[in-house]
Amino acid sequence: MLRITDAAIQPFEQKHTNLVRRLAPEGVIMLKRDGRLPFSEPSKIAVYGSGARKTIRGGTGSGEVNVRHFVTIEEGLEKAGFVITSKDWLDAYDQVRAEARTSFIEEVKEVARKTGTNPALVGMGRTMTEPEYDIPLCGEGSKAIYVVARNSGEGADRKIEPGDMYLSETEIRDILAANEKYENFVLVLNVGGMVDLSQVKDVKNIMLLGQLGTPTGDVLADLLLGKSYPSGKLAMTWASLEKYPSTREFGGLDDTFYKEGIYVGYRYFDTFNVMPDYPFGFGLGYTDFKIEIGEFAANEKDITVDVAVTNCGHHVGKEVVQVYVSKPEGVLDQPFQELISFAKTKELKPEETQVLQLCFPTTLMASYDISQASYVLEKGEYIIRVGNCSDDTTVCGILVMDGEAVISKVKNICPEWGFDDLRGCRTIKSEKFENMPRIYIHSDKVESNEVSYNTNETIPDIDDAVRWDEVISGLRTLDEFVGSLSLEELIYLCLGYFEEDNEAASIVGNACVSIAGAAGETTRRLREKQLPSMTMADGPAGIRVSEQYKIVGGKPKGLTSSISDLTEFFDEETLKHMAEMELPPTPEELVAKTHYIFCVAIPIGTTVAQTWSMDVAEQFGDIVGSEMQMFGINFWLAPAMNIQRSPICGRNFEYFSEDPLISGRIGGAITKGVQKHEGCAATLKHFVCNNQETNRFSSNSAVSERALREIYLKGFEICVKESQPHAIMSAYNLVNKEHICNRKELITDVLRSEWKFKGIVMTDWFATQTYVTDQSGRKNKYPVAYASGCIKAGNDLCMPGGKTDFEDILNALQEQNHPYHLSIGDIQRCAKRILQKIQCLGGSV
Ligand code: BGC
């Protein structure tokens, strides 16, 4: 573990920041362009909007990365030589914003007072709605940008009101006025998710910049000056909120019904002929491309399409080729089309051509048939389409299945969701297929398998003591070590390390003893046996730890709070109380050296997915992996893989896409990048259906077995199979009335038996300990998850762990009538999996 005592910028920071600056434009998208970008040189520019000076580098909560410094848009433009002519506007806006922020904090405190709730909990994830104001657009010159910024984070969903999901009246007025006033105008979106642009979509240029971590402002300057170019594509459909089928019932406190079934995102818009503002897969750069379809080949195993892409514009650029399939409708209704493969070109100069070969497994087109508890390819025609967005595809060939093929026989896992899913009424638009190449496939030749579900392994008890170093040196086996452990030791292994006098270390994960400000670690109670503990730190936009710490009493002590934002919501009395509780520095602390961990913030998950590039995603993972290795972090609590079911979800910025193929493949690439570093592991989260923040600890996602498997599990499945992550974090919520961490069908049957996942499963933080009420103090309908239920389900680790977890597990062993009655074997199996990870990843003693 590297301990840096020099406050100066380290070479790794510079290197990683430069790499982020170079890669980030691949996730930036022009939603509209007039052909005047890029500018030939830096000049005078008027800069307006909330994100100009108060730029957002990533969201709030555990997803926030504490950085040394990040480049705002104002700073980035000035560094690049632009002269900002609207400083008066920016100063006036600062004042308006400061006043609005004071009232916002007061409102949060007031809610907390009224409901008797901790203000940090009420404030968590809540972000201020953009205020309304009237400041003259004073900047001179012919160029202007207007930067709309939006922030959000764990604990709250976005607000369906002007200033959040919608543009405020001020924003609409000023964007339209600036578009008129300046010859060159760009609306820049410094957002983590969708904003309804319907009122301004005709302005000259719209750039979805996103939130790009440490070099955000530099990246924009590079893009404006043509030192780089945008080449991203949307990974989520953008449309007015009322058009999404999920909007009406979004955010139920107790239950949220996923009635749209498999019709999520473009699967809905394309099937039901609803026009979005910007379709899935859409994105312009500075140039244009021509896509020509070449050879189409298919057999029982693979489908291959050759596509020639030519840059027919005047700037360099990269294009993304997307392949979709329209499946035949038999017993199962089907969406108009589903993404089945994609590839990005290299950088193409004007007139340059590249031929891409896209190849994907035939079985990837299977659907889930609940009546047979199987993934099947139904009989009929599979129409393969190629294009550069879901709204612009051309048929390239047809695969004809002569009968039904059962690809995989499994079992139904999550019954009783209690409603009928929306059914598609697909109209294949009047397309002519006569001259299309047709390839016939024999259903009985398609590979098929039947899953056998895990039977429990038993580990014999042994009487003599075994030390961990004996296991590492090969003298004793892992089973012998497990068999030698006392019941207490076994239970402690299945709980994170908690100090009894400091159980609720923090609201946002901050329960790690070995690394200041990190989220948690595995137990340190078996140190006598030389057993190391493994550390965990949050992501996904980099690594979240305290930037400065001292070693006091042998332990790192953070000098900066990792929840600094939340303390804003405390009243003076609480702050005074906190200050009083803070012990004065000891003589040892006063003289101890300060250490520095300045990690680099990478772009948010959504931007990474918008690159549609596994190569880029892997490089981002590589940045994180190398910093983890340097600072002794074993588990990165990322990538975050939930489906962007609704644009309202407050954590969408951490997530990748509304589509499971992109989520799975991008997540897989990041995982590979992280895990190529020795001792470093990715933790896919939040498994599964954690698609809203409203009452996230206790909300039940009611979802059909088919939608669960085809949409919500699919991304995790692809990622697990492609990259074998070392860990998965189960989500807080319930699926069909049971907490996921207590659901054996998901944690053991699906993850381990069906997907052959070899890692550990940990809970989300405090999932088993608190939250009998929601944020307003109302009693929740569903009970809190059980720690014993976790062990029974095969959820190996309860994080960050606590005394009540310990007691519950012990009770479950002793009481026959306990809802999750346990045997010692249940605990040994979980403990063994954790030990297997320590064996492979190491850790610190
Ligand atoms: C979040 C997780 C995070 C954990 C540890 C939870 O509140 O939901 O995403 O990894 O805290 O900080």
Q: Are the CB atoms for 178 and 48 separated by under 8 Å?
A: yes
**Whole-number pLDDT of residue 813:** 97
3-state secondary structure of 527: helix
The secondary element (H helix, E strand) that includes residue 170 is helix 169-181
Question: What is the distance between the alpha carbons of residues 583 and 578, in angstroms, rounded to a whole number?
Answer: 10
Nearest residue to 780 (alpha-carbon basis) of 280, 340, 252:
252
Residue owning the nearest CA to atom 9 of ligand 1: 62
The secondary element (H helix, E strand) that includes residue 282 is none
Residue owning the nearest CA to atom 5 of ligand 1: 509
Q: Are the CB atoms for 208 and 29 separated by under 8 Å?
A: yes
Q: From 686, 765, 797, give the residue whose CB has the most ligand 1 atoms within 8 Å, as the site to mutate.
A: 765
User: Does pLDDT of 511 surpass 90?
Assistant: no
Q: Are the CB atoms for 680 and 723 separated by under 8 Å?
A: no
Residue 562: pLDDT band (50, 70, 90) is low
Q: How remote is the CA of residue 652 from the centroid of ligand 1, in Å? A: 14
Q: How remote is the CA of residue 491 from the centroid of ligand 1, in Å? A: 22
Q: Is the CB of residue 508 below 6 angstroms from any atom belonging to ligand 1?
A: yes
Instruction: Report the mean per-residue pLDDT for the chain.
Output: 93
**Whole-number pLDDT of residue 508:** 52
Q: Is the CB of residue 519 below 6 angstroms from any atom belonging to ligand 1?
A: yes
User: Does pLDDT of 264 surpass 90?
Assistant: yes
How many angstroms separate the Cα of 386 from the Cα of each of 293, 305, 333? 8, 9, 22
Nearest residue to 386 (alpha-carbon basis) of 321, 297, 298:
321
Lowest mean pLDDT: which of 202-216, 351-365, 582-596? 582-596
> Among the ranges 60-74, 400-414, 766-780, which has the highest mean pLDDT value?
400-414
Ligand 1 atom at shortest distance from the alpha carbon of 683: 10
Residue owning the nearest CA to atom 6 of ligand 1: 765
Ligand 1 atom at shortest distance from the alpha carbon of 154: 8
What is the rounded average pLDDT of the residues 716-738?
A: 97
Strand partners, 548: 596
Q: Is the CB of residue 59 below 6 angstroms from any atom belonging to ligand 1?
A: no
**Whole-number pLDDT of residue 565:** 60
Residue 428: pLDDT band (50, 70, 90) is low
User: Does pLDDT of 65 surpass 80?
Assistant: yes
pLDDT digits (tens, 9 = 90+) for 515-548: 999 999 999 999 999 999 999 999 999 999 999 9
Q: How remote is the CA of residue 324 from the centroid of ligand 1, in Å? A: 35
User: In sequence order, which residues have a C-beta less than 8 Å from that of residue 286 and are 6 or more positions away?
Assistant: 30, 33, 37, 38, 226, 229, 230, 313, 315, 317
Residue owning the nearest CA to atom 12 of ligand 1: 509
Q: Is the CB of residue 685 below 6 angstroms from any atom belonging to ligand 1?
A: yes
Q: Is the CB of residue 764 below 6 angstroms from any atom belonging to ligand 1?
A: yes
Q: Is the CB of residue 62 below 6 angstroms from any atom belonging to ligand 1?
A: yes
Q: How remote is the CA of residue 831 from the centroid of ligand 1, in Å? A: 22
Q: From 124, 154, 768, give the residue whose CB has the most ligand 1 atoms within 8 Å, as the site to mutate.
A: 154
pTM of the model: 0.96
Long-range contacts of 498-502 (CB under 8 A, 24+ apart): 498/800, 498/801, 498/802, 498/803, 500/803
